[in-house]
C-alpha cells in the first residue's frame, strides 16, 4: 500500500453523518464540527459560505466544499441574509434521507447535502493540520473532476428513494469523496512548499513513511529507513527533516504515541501491552515518551479520556478502588 492509503487507514474512517435540506429564501445554517471534516454539496441552486475573517464564498450547483478541521461557519442564501442561522448539527444526527424544508417561502431555492466525516481525531491531527482550512471542488466549468460528477450522480440516485443498505452505501460514498479531495490536494502540493504532504509525492520519502506506518512496532533505525528510501543515511535524514519538519525517528515516535492514545481510549489493554504494541519493551520508557508528547502519564491520560466520555463510570471505578484500599 502507498503511504497516503496507510495514513488514511490509520484515521479509521467510520462513515458520515449527514442531513439533506431543501432551502427557500431567506435561509441560513451554522455548523461547527471541531476536529472532524465538515462538508456541503450543492445539488441544485446556489449558496454562500461565510467564515469569520474571510470573504463570502459562492457555492454553486455541483460544488463540494470541505472544511477539514470542521471550523465554525455559516451557509446561507446570500451574504446579508434576513434569516437567523439555525444549528445544522442536530439535524445530522438523524441522517434523514428525506430533505428537510428550511427557510421562508421565497425564491431562489437551494438543495444541500451537508455532513461531517467520522474518524479518529487524534490519528487524523497531522493530516488535518497540513490541509487548507477550506477545499472547494467546483462542479461547474470546463473540466470538473470526473470523480465529483460521478459521486454526485450516485448520491442523488441513492437518496431518491429508500433502499436496503442505503446508510452503509452513503457512509462509504462520503468517505470516498473526502479521500478524493485529499488526494487532489496532495497532488497539487508543490515541492519545497513546506507542507509535509509533499513527502507523499516524493517516492523516497513516501517509501520510508509507508514502512513506518505499516510496521510502527519495529525498532527502525535511520540507516534502515534510508535503505528503504534508496538514499544515503545523511541524504535521507536531511530530506526527511526538511520536508516533514522533524527528524525521521521523531516522526515515528509521535506516530507511535498517537497509536498508543487510540489504544488507551478505545481498549482495555494494560499499559504494558500497549507499550509492546507500539514498539516499547519497557513500560517506563513508553510512559516517559507518552508524557513528553501529551504532558501526562498514560494511566492519567486514559482516566481523563474515560471521564470525558463517561464520568459515572470513572466515579464508580474510583469508588471501588477506594473501597478496596
Tell me the residue length of the chain.
325
Residue 126 has pLDDT above 50, yes or no: yes
* Mean pLDDT value of segment 266-288: 95
Q: Which has the higher per-residue pLDDT, 148 or 160?
A: 148
Residue 97 has pLDDT above 80, yes or no: no
pLDDT band at 311 (very low <50, low <70, confident <90, very high): very low
Residue 140 has pLDDT above 80, yes or no: no
288 closest CA partner among 279, 297, 280: 297
- Judge if 3-188 and 197-306 fold alike in CATH terms: no
Residue 248 has pLDDT above 90, yes or no: yes
Find cell 470538473 and name the residue.
144
Cα distance between residue 128 and residue 119, in whole Å: 11
Q: Identify the pLDDT of residue 88.
A: 94
Burial grade of 166 (CB within 10 A; 0-12, 13-18, 19 or more) = middle
CATH architecture entry for 197-306: Orthogonal Bundle (1.10)
User: Using one digit for the tens of pLDDT, what is the confidence trace for 163-205?
Assistant: 888 878 888 888 888 889 999 999 888 877 778 899 998 999 9
Residue 310 has pLDDT above 70, yes or no: no
* Mean pLDDT value of segment 4-29: 91
Q: Identify the pLDDT of residue 157.
A: 79
* Mean pLDDT value of segment 305-323: 54
Q: Domain spans of the chain?
A: 3-188, 197-306
* Mean pLDDT value of segment 8-31: 92
Superfamily, domain 3-188 = Jelly Rolls (2.60.120.10)
Strands 86-87 and 38-44: unpaired
Amino acid at each position: 500500500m502507498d503511504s497516503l492509503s496507510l495514513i488514511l487507514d490509520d484515521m479509521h474512517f467510520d462513515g458520515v453523518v449527514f442531513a439533506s435540506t431543501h432551502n427557500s429564501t431567506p435561509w441560513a445554517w451554522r455548523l461547527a464540527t471541531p476536529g472532524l471534516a465538515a462538508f456541503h454539496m450543492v445539488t441544485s441552486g446556489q449558496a454562500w459560505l461565510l467564515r469569520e475573517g474571510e470573504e463570502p464564498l459562492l457555492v454553486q450547483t455541483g460544488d463540494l466544499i470541505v472544511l477539514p478541521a470542521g471550523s465554525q461557519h455559516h451557509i446561507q442564501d446570500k451574504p446579508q441574509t434576513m434569516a437567523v442561522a439555525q444549528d445544522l448539527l442536530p439535524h445530522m444526527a438523524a441522517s434523514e434521507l428525506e430533505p428537510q424544508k428550511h427557510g421562508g417561502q421565497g425564491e431562489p431555492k437551494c438543495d444541500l447535502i451537508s455532513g461531517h466525516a467520522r474518524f479518529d481525531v487524534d490519528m487524523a491531527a497531522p493530516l488535518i493540520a497540513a490541509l487548507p482550512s477550506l477545499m472547494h471542488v467546483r462542479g461547474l466549468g470546463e473540466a470538473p473532476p470526473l470523480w465529483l460528477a460521478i459521486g454526485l450522480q450516485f448520491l442523488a440516485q441513492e437518496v431518491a428513494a429508500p433502499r436496503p443498505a442505503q446508510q452503509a452505501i452513503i457512509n462509504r460514498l462520503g468517505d470516498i469523496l473526502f479521500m478524493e479531495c485529499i488526494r487532489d490536494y496532495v497532488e497539487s502540493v508543490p515541492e519545497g512548499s513546506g507542507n509535509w504532504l509533499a513527502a507523499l509525492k516524493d517516492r523516497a520519502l513516501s517509501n520510508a513513511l509507508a514502512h513506518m506506518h505499516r510496521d510502527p512496532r519495529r525498532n527502525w533505525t535511520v540507516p534502515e529507513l534510508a535503505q528503504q528510501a534508496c538514499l544515503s543515511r545523511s541524504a535521507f535524514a536531511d530530506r526527511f527533516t526538511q520536508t516533514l519538519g522533524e527528524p525521521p525517528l521523531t516522526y515515528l515516535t509521535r506516530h507511535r504515541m498517537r497509536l498508543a492514545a487510540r489504544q488507551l481510549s478505545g481498549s482495555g489493554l494494560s499499559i504494558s501491552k500497549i507499550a509492546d504494541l507500539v514498539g516499547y519493551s519497557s513500560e517506563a520508557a513508553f510512559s516517559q515518551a507518552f508524557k513528553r508528547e501529551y504532558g501526562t502519564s498514560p494511566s492519567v491520560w486514559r482516566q481523563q479520556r474515560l471521564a470525558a466520555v463517561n464520568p459515572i463510570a470513572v466515579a464508580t471505578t474510583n469508588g471501588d478502588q477506594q473501597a478496596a484500599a
